[in-house]
Structure formats: structure tokens, C-alpha cells
Amino acid sequence: MLVAAGVHAQSMNIDFNFAGLGSAPSSTYAAAGLAGFWNTANMTGNMVATMSLADLSGAATAASLNVSVMLGNWTNTGSWTGDDLLLMEDAGGSIGQPVNFVGLLNGNYDVLAYGMSASGNVNSSFYIGSATQNTSGAWSGSHVLGGSYGLFSGISVTNGTLQMGWVGNFNGLQLIYSPVPEPATMAAMGLGLAAIAARRRRSSSGL
């Protein structure tokens, strides 16, 4: 998959990891989103302390993440293998505390939230504002929307912050960034479209 450099600028992958249990997936692993560097968010002392985040290339960004309470106290070994196992083997449990992002670039984000248990007996629900995504069921051999992950499309970030709540298991997430065109860029696009339309009108009239 070819991805523009601007998308990499603040697209990022995050694996919630029960400290000392395992490692993050490899940079060739896309899960259901984009391949690239995976940030390891260690759950230590039932929290994820504020941590700086890197983009898909592994380059540092101004963004950071924290979760004041995250109960990383179980292991999901299930039937996952390889990088799927590294993402899904451990999860954070919720008691109503959100995942907080600060320092994000303003723009639109697709947010993929991963949450399931090894046996499929734990349903997960994710929340961004009034939007909800749910996951349920057992591992099918690959990532399935509504099975292992939920998808929030086009979430607008205007002040650099994003807050996400959940109930159930939270194994990891991916943010896929789309910049909002600047007014000058939009104006140039409009002029370009107008020129194309005028050229087509001249062609159709035989001029």
C-alpha cells in the first residue's frame, strides 16, 4: 500500500502491553490499518504513564498518550500467532478512565480500536464523543470489523486533543491521519476544477 508522506506525519500504531509480558508487533505489520512502527504503551501499576509517540516511520512527534487507570492484569494467548499474537496477547481493562491524546496535528483521523479476548467471551465497546463501536466473538484467523476491532471514520481533531473511552478489553489502536486542506490549497483546487470544466465546455462546443 502506497501512503503519502503527509499521512505518515501523524499516523501511528499503539500496542497496549502488560509490562514485561511481550513485545510490540514488527513494523511490517498492518493489522487492519497501515504497516509501520508500533509504539509500546506499557501498563505498569494499573496505568499508562504519559508517553511520547512516534509516527509510522518511527520518527518522534509532538503527540503523547496517557491513561490514568488501565487494568493490565490478564493475558490472552488464544489462537493468535506471529504479529497478531503480539498485538492481541495482552489487553487493558477499563473502569471508566479514558485514553487521552495531546499534541496531535489538527485534521481528520480514522481510529481503529482493537479489543477481544482469547475465548471470545468478552465484548468490548469503544467511545469517541457520541460515536460507539463494538466488538464481539472469537478470533476468526484475521482481523474483522466488529470482531477484533472497531472503526471510527473521519474523527475531527481541531485543538490537538482526542479522548477515547472503552469498556472491556483494549489491545491496541491505530490512528490514520488525513490533513485538512489549507484555504489557499482549496482555492487552487477550485480554480483547477473550473479550468477543467471550461476546457470541456469549449471542446463540446467545437471551439
Distance CA 202, CA 205 (A): 5
pLDDT in tens, 8-34: 568 999 999 887 677 899 999 999 999
Q: Which grid cell sits at 70? A: 488501565
pLDDT tens-place string over residues 182-202? 554 444 444 545 555 556 555
Domains of the chain: 5-182 (2.60.120)
The C-alpha cell at 104 is 496531535
pLDDT in tens, 108-123: 999 999 998 877 778 8
Cα–Cα distance measured from residue 199 to residue 24, given in angstroms and rounded to the nearest whole number: 53
Model confidence over 71-119: pLDDT tens digits? 875 667 778 899 999 999 888 888 778 999 999 999 999 999 999 887 7
How many CB atoms lie under 10 A from the CB of residue 148?
Answer: 28
Task: Please tell me the pTM assigned to this model.
Answer: 0.83
